[in-house]
Amino acid sequence: MPELPEVETVRRGLLPVMEGQVIAKATVNRPDLRWPFPEGMAERLTGKRIKALRRRSKYILADLDSGETLLIHLGMSGRMLISGHTVGEFHHPHPVPEKHDHVVFDMEQGARITFNDARRFGAMDLFGTEVGDAHWLLKNLGPEPLGNAFHEAYLIERLKGKNSPIKTVLLDQGIVSGLGNIYVCEVLFRANINPKRKAGQLSSARVASLVPIIREVLSEAIEAGGSSLKDYRQADGELGYFQHVFRVYDREGEPCVTPDCKGSVARFVQSGRSTFYCPQCQR
């Protein structure tokens, strides 16, 4: 599932063709994805101007001049692809419609944004913009890891007394939003923290060290366009590149990249997900 860097990369790719632009025509080709689409969604979107295109956690939020906000979740395999728009010297013509093109936005300036989702785990919703973070998908989210509300004192306080493994705790969207399996593995490796360690047993200094490392890993991943492992593509159809610099994720059996370390990357299943780490470096 796309994590914060992938969703942020998609948002940035959509900005030139969506923010400030009018949706000339919205087409909805099926009644639902993960959940039913809002009633009359195509009609409620057609003719509306997108005032702002934001991100909250793993959701893209488009604020409309109608006073509503369109929420988009990419799910496991959702892609938002742009056509009919010139980027630099390259023009992307409209492709032939595909089977899993479920929602299409034809913009007033000629661009087309197609939401394609083969597995149909994605979702869209429309709600009053004034509802804000009180929306049911947003209200229990923790602070943004790249925002000012996420800092050392906050994380130290939230991890006090936690008996769960630190990896499980960092995946809790109520503690910090947007982090997923890939980036938590990478963060814990850089912090030299064993993913099995109980969160509440870590010293305040070690917990505090996680904050800048989380920011560093996410910023590097965004700069690389995210990580493309299976279905993820950027909005222009290109792959992300952060997977080429993974230090532990998906590197089971390979030598540890830490200088002078003789260990190799191990994998085990934790809370139903693959965890990758170096048993020699991470304590």
Active site residue 2: yes
Q: Of these residues, 2, 5, 143, 195, which one is catalytic?
A: 2
Active site residue 58: yes
Helix (H, G, I), strand (E, B), or coil: what is residue 151? coil
Q: Of these residues, 95, 215, 273, 279, which one is catalytic?
A: 273
For residue 276, is it left (φ>0), alpha (ψ between -120 and 50) or beta? beta
Residue 67 CB burial class (10 angstroms; 0-12, 13-18, ≥19): exposed
Q: Of these residues, 58, 79, 158, 167, which one is catalytic?
A: 58
Helices 204-223 and 181-190: crossing angle in degrees, nearest 10, is 120
Residue 82 CB burial class (10 angstroms; 0-12, 13-18, ≥19): buried
Q: Of these residues, 3, 8, 68, 186, which one is catalytic?
A: 3
Q: Is the dihedral of CA 92, 94, 97, 100 positive or negative?
A: positive
* Paired tokens of 165: 């493994």
Q: Is the dihedral of CA 39, 42, 43, 47 positive or negative?
A: positive
Helix (H, G, I), strand (E, B), or coil: what is residue 230? coil
Positions annotated as catalytic residues are 2-3, 58, 273
